């Protein structure tokens, strides 16, 4: 899973990037600290993976991972490719979702381009640049496709119509994801349109745990989600001894799912992902993110294409039943293991072993 960071200069994008990935990156109170796009992976914390491995004495644990892409701040003109942020926007076309970091912290030492704190206005300014970038890209493609359409090519005619619908929406100030038609959705995904991607607005607050109401309303109107995270504070906690940090967080009532975990959990919700596990014995237990509704055969294909091609059946057990049984063999004896066919819809927390033949 690839998550692209967008936001204005000094919004705290790199601070969030460091918090989630643990990567060392330059965070500084002047705009355009980040110049070149940077990427880093983060493990998805999941206590169920350790429970599965501990129960069966499995030494190696491989958590699911997400990749974050941090780019320069987006200023006016970025949509047309201007500035460092504009030049970097193309790097986000492959992203599965966007994390839109919006400044909601005061701190006078960190200059704001307009010397104010206005999360909604900042979010709208960045959304506008994303829409402009999508519009430019759609226009360029429409020009090309129209030439092919002239010869009567049916696919090109359909694509031109889809592009026109996308451009119409963007011109009306609506994101590409709002265009509710299959052909347009497919074209938008193929082009990697930024406003077609799911987006999570992250209000970077001083201490508040709720996003500002107007930003939350904006997110909802955009078909997006919003959460609040005091990124600066969370970075300080992340640098402390974990026990002390947990105590302080409890005292400050920062909530159960915090910091990097809150971001990853938000991204899972956003993409409607569930996790299944492999690990029916040593040497390795592993967590795999898949879209909700994925079948056993398709999930097997995530592990290896041979497993999907030669899929015979899957042995499946809920993770907690496996932990209770203590081993795959005992789970089989206790008949808590089930045999499932290729069309079985994999459930959150399933542990799966695929029988295949190629």
Ligand X SMILES: Nc1nc2c(ncn2[C@@H]2O[C@H](COP(=O)(O)OP(=O)(O)OP(=O)(O)O)[C@@H](O)[C@H]2O)c(=O)[nH]1
**Count of residues in the chain:** 358
Hunting for tokens 């601070």 — which residue is that? 15
How many of the other CB atoms lie within 10 Å of CB of 26? Answer: 10
Binding pattern to ligand X, positions 278-317, x when CB under 6 A? ----------------------------------------
Q: Is residue 314 within a helix (H) or strand (E), and if so which, with residue range?
A: strand 311-318
Binding pattern to Mg ion, positions 25-54, x when CB under 5 A? --------xx--------------------
Hunting for tokens 């692209």 — which residue is that? 4
Binding pattern to ligand X, positions 96-135, x when CB under 6 A? ---------x-x--x-------------------------
**Do the beta carbons of residue 52 and residue 14 sit within 8 Å?**
no
Scanning residues 175 to 214, which ones bind ligand X (CB under 6 A)? 204
State yes or no: residue 22 binds ligand X (CB under 6 A): no
Cβ closest to ligand X, residue 33 vs residue 336: 33
State yes or no: residue 14 binds Mg ion (CB under 5 A): yes
SS3 state of residue 339: strand
Cβ closest to ligand X, residue 33 vs residue 67: 33
**Do the beta carbons of residue 287 and residue 44 sit within 8 Å?**
yes
Radius of gyration of the chain (CA): 23
Least distance between ligand X and beta carbon 37 (Å):
11
Distance (Å, whole) CA 276 – CA 287:
6
The interface region with Mg ion, picked from 14-22, 170-178, 267-275, 331-339 by CB under 5 A, is: 14-22
Distance (Å, whole) CA 28 – CA 75:
17
- List residues binding Mg ion (CB under 5 A): 13-14, 33-34
- List residues binding ligand X (CB under 6 A): 7, 9-15, 27-29, 31-34, 72-73, 105, 107, 110, 204, 230-232
């Amino acid at each position: 899973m690839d998550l692209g960071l967008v936001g204005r200069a000094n919004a705290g994008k790199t601070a969030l990037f460091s918090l989630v990935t643990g990567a060392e990156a330059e965070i500084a109170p002047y705009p355009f600290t980040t110049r070149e796009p940077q990427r880093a992976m983060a493990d998805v914390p999941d206590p169920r993976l350790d429970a599965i491995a501990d129960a069966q004495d499995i030494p190696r644990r491989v958590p699911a991972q997400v990749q974050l892409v941090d780019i320069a701040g987006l200023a006016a003109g970025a949509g047309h490719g201007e500035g460092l942020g504009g030049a970097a926007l193309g790097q986000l076309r492959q992203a599965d979702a966007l994390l839109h970091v919006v400044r909601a912290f005061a701190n006078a030492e960190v200059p704001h381009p307009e010397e104010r704190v206005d999360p909604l206005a900042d979010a709208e300014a960045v959304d506008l640049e994303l829409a402009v970038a999508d519009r430019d890209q759609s226009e360029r493609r429409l020009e090309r496709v129209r030439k092919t359409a002239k010869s009567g090519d049916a696919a090109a005619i359909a694509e031109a119509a889809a592009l026109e619908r996308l451009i119409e929406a963007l011109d009306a100030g609506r994101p590409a994801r709002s265009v509710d038609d299959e052909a347009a959705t497919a074209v938008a995904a193929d082009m990697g349109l930024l406003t077609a991607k799911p987006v999570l607005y992250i209000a970077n607050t001083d201490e508040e745990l709720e996003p500002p109401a107007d930003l939350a309303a904006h997110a909802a109107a955009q078909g997006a989600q919003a959460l609040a995270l005091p990124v600066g504070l969370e970075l300080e906690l992340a640098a402390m001894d974990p026990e002390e940090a947990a105590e302080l967080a409890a005292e400050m009532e920062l909530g159960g799912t915090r910091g990097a975990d809150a971001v990853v959990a938000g991204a899972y919700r956003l993409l409607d992902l569930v996790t299944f596990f492999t690990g029916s014995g040593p040497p390795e237990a592993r967590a795999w993110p898949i879209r909700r509704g994925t079948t056993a055969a398709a999930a097997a294909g995530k592990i290896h294409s041979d497993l999907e091609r030669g899929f015979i059946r899957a042995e499946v057990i809920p993770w907690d039943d496996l932990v209770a049984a203590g081993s795959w063999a005992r789970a089989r004896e206790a008949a808590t293991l089930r045999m499932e066919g290729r069309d079985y819809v994999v459930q959150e927390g399933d542990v799966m072993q695929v029988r295949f033949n190629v």
